[in-house]
Structure 1
């Protein structure tokens, strides 16, 4: 699935890493990063999406799902967006990134390829 993410990374200048992960923190694909970094990001994102879901549940009119988290830190931005079923798209970008363009390109990718970005459920460690 790396090729699906490569377009996002190349179309938004200042993109560092793009990772597709399952809701339980497994890296499914990555661009612009090595496997160890992608695995660390995926594990951290699993915790962040869980925390975001708990916050989303405080809005009774919503469905309790996290859609997008953006974190600005010294040196850049972190984006985490719900992708397909049980999957998320994470991006690290430099501080000079066009934040609007990044958000739009991430939404476009998820809209175009959402069903391909899904993570099938696992039971006892196996895909069902």
Structure 2
């Protein structure tokens, strides 16, 4: 697990350094646990991961309101004073989250996130857990 996390951190660094104005990149499980990160501190990554769990649940509920949708969240983008937040589905039970400053190229960020998920989506998967343990 530690070796896998180190490899994932390197891949996240590649995303962060290839898109100027990227502040923080986090991979999280659907229940809000940080799996990997690049940039920022661990406490901030943990808070972001926990907040993302609620956000992806809310987005899935909204997606379920579309008549032909499966209720699956693919991408959420939030613009706030000072920057952007991106949350993208990244494999079964895993998500990719990015915080970026307001000068970020939004199109480039979306494309690079999609490329990363397409290349390593199988590695960005969180197995289901029961009582805090992988099933």
Q: TM-score, normalised by structure 2?
A: 0.93
Structure 1 unaligned blocks of 5 or more: none
Q: Give how far 1:109 is off.
A: 0.3
Instruction: Give 2:124's aligned residue.
Output: 117
Query: Considering only aligned residues, what root-mean-square deviation do their CA atoms show, in Å?
Result: 0.6
Residues of 1 paired with 2:47 and 2:132: CA distance?
A: 20
SS in 2 for 1:20: strand
Instruction: Give 1:74's aligned residue.
Output: 81
Instruction: Give 2:5's aligned residue.
Output: none
Structure 2 unaligned blocks of 5 or more: 1-7
1:102 to 101, 109, 112: 109
Residues of 2 paired with 1:87 and 1:31: CA distance?
A: 16
Residues of 2 paired with 1:87 and 1:27: CA distance?
A: 10
What is the total number of aligned residue pairs between the two structures? 128
Q: TM-score, normalised by structure 1?
A: 0.98
Instruction: Give 1:51's aligned residue.
Output: 58
Please list every run of at least 4 consecutive aligned residues from structure 1 whose deviation after the TM superposition is greater than 3 angstroms. none
Q: Give how far 1:28 is off.
A: 0.3
